[in-house]
């Protein structure tokens, strides 16, 4: 799912364990709360692996995309 600048919420689910955020079209600035690895105004560049395979810890986690675009991908172990 492509996320543009704005605030989003994601619910904890047993269907997907991991969530990743991959910057596209240049740099992005993101804050994450309610995740295993929270971030505060973190600048991401294309190729960054900092936001790969994070996990939702709270019932509802918040994504605040302050600048740029990211691709949100959900995944699980087989």
Q: What is the pLDDT of residues 49-69, one digit of tens each?
A: 999 999 999 999 999 999 999
Report the alpha-carbon distance of residue 31 to residue 46 in Å, rounded: 17
Tell me, what DSSP letter sits at residue 54? B
Task: Decide if pLDDT at 31 tops 90.
Answer: yes
Residue with tokens 């995740």: 35
Report CA 33 to chain centroid distance, whole Å.
10
- Per DSSP, which regions of 1-78 are E strands? 2-3, 6-11, 18-33, 39-44, 60-75
The listed CATH number (2.60.120.320, 1.10.3720.10, 2.60.40.10, 3.30.360.10) that belongs to domain 2-75? 2.60.120.320
In this prediction the pTM is 0.92
């Amino acid at each position: 799912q492509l996320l543009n600048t704005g605030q989003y919420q994601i619910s904890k689910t047993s269907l997907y364990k991991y969530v990743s955020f991959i910057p596209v079209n240049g740099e992005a600035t993101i804050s994450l709360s309610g995740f295993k690895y929270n971030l505060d105004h973190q600048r991401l560049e294309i190729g960054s692996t900092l936001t790969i395979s994070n996990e939702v810890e709270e019932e509802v986690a918040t994504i605040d995309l302050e600048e740029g675009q990211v691709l949100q991908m959900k995944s699980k172990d087989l």
